[in-house]
Chain A
């Protein structure tokens, strides 16, 4: 499979727990993006990487959120001390350059905080 892979597909966690999601982009894509989507809304930008460098973080990304892409390949998104408001679909996407050709999204990780 040469698409974008995300793991896990679903995560249910108790409030206050930490969770970590993984994204494996298309191998030749140097840009990787994280978005969050809630019901009835479009994807909201969280952060993006060019290779291993994190170039931008949205104000939506509070101090409880951290993302890494240590070797410029896969990326992880960690949420510490989860809150019910963190419940959402977390989407990862990758692209070759600035995204002028569009993104390829993974299937997403659906997080439910109970």
Chain B
């Protein structure tokens, strides 16, 4: 079993749609959680940290369910510029573990 699992997609949505990505992780001792964004042939960039109480950054909302070892990312009012791969990331001792990524394509 992979340490971080994501549905690779792709998710194809129209502009303005709301889309949600989910991720599960296997290490119950993990303490830090993130979503990274990766554009085609570019390096991953930190999108947002994920806190236990849930957190929001503009159109983006992240949720964490420690009991179910589940992380989610909600994007409201999708823009064409949101098209990218979204990587779910969980910490392990001394390093971060990345999921496979979920690809989002926003269509006009």
Contact = CB atoms under 8 A, between A and B. Distances in A.
A98 B32 CA distance: 10
Contacts of B43: 91, 105-108
Contacts of B25: none
Interface string A16-41: 00000000000000000101000011
Interface residues of B, number: 22
Interface residues of A, number: 23
B55 to A, nearest CB: 14
B20 interface: no
Contact of A42 (B46, B94, B100): B100
Nearest to B34: A102
Chain B interface helix/strand/loop/mixed: strand
Chain A interface helix/strand/loop/mixed: loop
A103 B99 contact: no
Interface string B62-95: 0000000000000000000000000100010011
A91 B41 CA distance: 12
18 contacts: A40-B8, A40-B100, A42-B98, A43-B44, A44-B98, A48-B94, A48-B95, A55-B94, A56-B95, A99-B32, A99-B91, A99-B94, A102-B36, A102-B49, A103-B46, A104-B46, A107-B43, A108-B43
Interface of B: 4, 8, 31-32, 34, 36, 42-46, 49, 87, 91, 94-101
Interface of A: 33, 35, 40-45, 48, 55-56, 91, 98-108
